[in-house]
Amino acid sequence: MYRTHNNGELNINHLNQNVKLSGWVQKIRDKGFIVWVDLRDRYGITQLVFDTERTPKAILDKASELSRECVIQIEGQVIERESKNKDISTGEIEILVQDLVVLNTSKLPPFTIEDQTDGGEELRMKYRYLDIRRNPVKQKLIFRSQVSMAVRNYLSEQDFVEVETPYLIKSTPEGARDFVVPSRMNEGQFYALPQSPQTFKQLLMVGGLEKYFQIVKCFRDEDLRADRQPEFTQIDCEMSFVTQEDVLNTFEGLTKHLIEKTHGIKVEEFPRMTFEDAMKTYGNDKPDIRFGMKFGELNEVAQHKDFKIFNEAELVVGIAIPGGASYSRKEIDKLIDWVKRPQVGAKGMVYVKLNEDGSYKSSVDKFYDDKDLKAWAEKTNAQPGDLIAVLSGKANETRAQLSALRMEMGNRLGLRKPNEFAPLWVVDFPLLEWDEDTQRFHAMHHPFTSPKAEDAELLETSPGEVRANAYDLVLNGNEIGGGSIRIHDKQMQSKMLNLLGFSEDEARKQFGFLMDAFEYGAPPHGGIAFGLDRLVAILGGQESIRDFIAFPKNNMGRDVMIDAPATLGDDQLKELGLELNIQKNE
């Protein structure tokens, strides 16, 4: 037996008991005649004591040779500590050691195994198994496991069936590139890894399962964006005989359950907002509604004077920054530089100070008088003491720029509180999105999303205006889930693929299996998928998803611990029939 207790378990109630403990050596304090060792395992730290009077000499000698992170097993007696540590549960006791076995030695770790480590990101990733020994990482993995378990329990109770769908499949269009796997047995042919199990879950509905879920890995070969992983996990769900309302209610229930389970907070009914309103009010389809700073559109009240920049703009729009009237000239210049950064891309920024005494001071005093500025203040809901920041230009771009400024100010002013939960359903997304580069429509969600019945006629005349039965669940400014009511009619699915530029032949080749299935009594169905990594991070009050993933990839999509991706040997390439391709490329 390696241990009778774990290292987080013993306290004053165990005094005088004989115990066995195992774990890693966290710290050694060697005074010669007395040695203290902090012994750590997953559950905590227990202090061991060895001394000349009470410990056999051979054991004391062994103790003074221990080094950090070696693995030991001890036997000893629980005694009361002289100087107690109130910060940890085992802080009132220590173990007077009688026997010590070294189970394994350890090289000196490349960084300290402590909550605040001296290891940089890259080093921690390379030695991830050591990083996982640290509390902050370990706790996040345990938290993730608890959230996953809560999801499983909740959905199982609601009668959902967990089904595994295959990883070696054919392309599923979720808007990214596929990772592909060469087939040895079918030379020259490739599987694609699923960007999501979308088509399979729809086939499960045709299969009559009615309620499906899966906590599943998805793979998307996307260009690098901060805090994105090429492989990530979804809570993927699908239901039959449901309307959009049914789906929203079911998954609002799940989300409420998770927030309550992890934080003890009961959230009221989730508000809903149309895509159009979200864009107009927050410049963003995943607004953080924990704070205000709503957009005020100013075309009407700013395009009647001689200020050319505004007059020529498609959209003039502003927000009121709380307390901003007290910013110095220098601070405002810095803010202007910030919106002009290439990542944001504004050409400039007009500002109005709404002083505490009710007076106005603006960067466009030449063009606008107090009466004009008062109208701007009304539109942006500015209060005395605020700074109105105004951007102008093409509508979509300007909204995105102002949204970036709003989020930045939300962060700077501490308005995005990690322990506050503000979920929001964004509904009525457009079905299609016009792509300037390829000069054709793309599915905004995916090609299996159904148009709103009342907009169906527009499909022929102005497809860009058709709204979809598609919805996103937004939490604190992050999209945590998205889904739609699907097309379940073969004709409609063909029409959609056609609109998206697939020829009859291509549609058949890529999605023939789905359209065939639709000919055998496909029920009306719809669903949703949550991004588990991000959901867990938000519930854990963190911005970054990395530490909630046991073995994440870096920004270049590399696993620096196992050093992947890697090249293959000639023999393997040959076996896979890839040899020719390589030679061609050289």
Find the binding residues for ligand ASP in span 381-410 (CB under 6 A): none
Segment 274-333, which members bind ligand ASP (CB under 6 A)? none
Residue type, 505: D
Shortest distance, position 66 Cβ to ligand ASP, whole Å: 50
**HSE-up of residue 352 (Cα within 13 Å, Cβ side):** 34
469 binds ligand ASP (CB under 6 A): no
Residue 174 sits in the site that holds ligand ASP (CB under 6 A): yes
Cβ(255)–Cβ(475) under 8 Å? yes
* Residue 239 Cβ vs ligand ASP, minimum distance, rounded to whole Å: 10
Nearer CB in complex with ligand ASP: 22/484 = 484
Length of the chain equals: 586
Q: Which pair of tokens denotes residue 449?
A: 């999303």
Q: Which is nearer to ligand ASP, 196 or 493 (CB)?
A: 196
C-beta of 63: minimal distance to ligand ASP in Å? 55
3-state secondary structure 222-237: CCCCCCCCCEEEEEEE
Give which of 129, 140, 120, 136 is closest to 533, Cα–Cα.
Answer: 140
35 has which bridge partners?
Answer: 30, 50
Token reading at 57: 């000499």
Nearer to ligand ASP by Cβ, of 529 and 536: the residue is 529
How far is residue 284's CA from residue 408's CA, in Å, rounded to a whole number?
A: 14
Computed over its alpha carbons, how large is the radius of gyration of the chain? 30
Distance, CA of 525 to CA of 202 (rounded, Å)? 8
Query: Cα(572)–Cα(549) distance, rounded to whole angstroms?
Result: 31
Q: How far is the CB of 289 from ligand ASP (least distance, A)?
A: 22
Residue 171 or 381 having the CB closest to ligand ASP: 171
Site string for ligand ASP, 521-540 (x = CB under 6 A): ------xxx-----------
Q: For the chain, how are helix, strand and coil distributed in percent, rounded to 5? A: 35, 25, 40
Contact between residue 297 and residue 317 where contact means Cβ atoms under 8 Å apart = yes
Would you say 487 and 495 are in contact if contact means Cβ atoms under 8 Å apart? no
Question: Binders of ligand ASP: how many residues, by CB under 6 A?
Answer: 9
Assign 3-class secondary structure to 509-549: HHHHHHHHHCCCCCCCEEEEEEEHHHHHHHHCCCCCCHHHC
**Minimum CB distance to ligand ASP, residue 482 (Å):** 5
As a dihedral over the C-alpha atoms of residue 530, residue 531, residue 533, residue 539, rounded to 10 degrees, the angle is -50
CA diameter of the chain: 94
What residues numbered 476-515 form the site for ligand ASP, per CB under 6 A?
Answer: 482-484
| Cβ atoms of residues 248 and 263 within 8 Å | no
Q: Which residues of 11-43 are buried (b: 16+ CB within 10 A; e: fewer)?
A: eeebeeeebbbbbbbbebeeeeebbbbbbbbee
Q: How far is the CB of 190 from ligand ASP (least distance, A)?
A: 21
Nearer to ligand ASP by Cβ, of 278 and 470: the residue is: 470
Residues 184-203 that bind ligand ASP (CB under 6 A): 196, 198
Residue 83 near residue 73 (C-beta atoms within 8 A):
no
- Identity of the residue, 423 or 483, whose beta carbon is nearer to ligand ASP in the bound complex: 483
Does position 131 interact with ligand ASP (CB under 6 A)? The reply is: no
Residue whose CB is less far from ligand ASP, 137 or 468: 468
Nearest approach, Cβ of 216 to ligand ASP (angstroms)? 10
SS3 state at 321: strand
Q: Closest separation between CB of residue 173 and ligand ASP, Å? A: 10
> H-type helices in 240-289, by residue range?
244-263, 275-282
Closest to ligand ASP by CB, 318 vs 447, is 447
Q: Can you give the three-state secondary structure of 441-468, one letter per residue?
A: EEECCCCCECECHHHCCHHHHCHHHCEE
Least distance between ligand ASP and beta carbon 256 (Å) = 20
Closer by beta carbon to ligand ASP, 69 or else 174: 174
- Residues of the shown chain interacting with ligand ASP in the complex, contacts defined by CB under 6 A: 174, 196, 198, 482-484, 527-529
